Amino acid sequence: MAHLVLIEDAYGEMLDAEVYCSDFCAQTSADYQGWHGCNEIGVSQPCEHCGEWVEGLDEAFEEDGA
């Protein structure tokens, strides 16, 4: 499960999201606004801070044999 840090504009509209492996790593972001974990992401990617692989739904489907 991913921890996300949402990047928003001045109006509160989401522009982007940074993906982290843990809340500990997410807290290193200048845009951190509190815990936002247990998110499913579509595609696996490295953590923005430490580089640990954050599993996405693409890998979950492969493990299920779909």
Q: How confident is the model at residue 59 (pLDDT cuts 50, 70, 90)?
A: confident
pLDDT greater at residue 33 or residue 64:
33
pTM of this structure: 0.86
Alpha-helical segments (H) within 1-66: 23-26, 57-64
Answer whether 10's CB lies under 8 Å from 41's CB.
no
Q: What is the pLDDT of residue 12?
A: 93
Distances (CA, A) of 14 to 9, 50, 59, 65: 7, 24, 26, 34
Answer whether 59's CB lies under 8 Å from 53's CB.
no
CA distance 22 to 9: 24
Question: pLDDT tens for residues 1-48?
Answer: 999 999 999 999 999 999 999 999 999 999 999 999 999 999 999 999
Q: What is the pLDDT of residue 63?
A: 64
Range of the domain at 31: 3-64
CA distance 66 to 58: 10
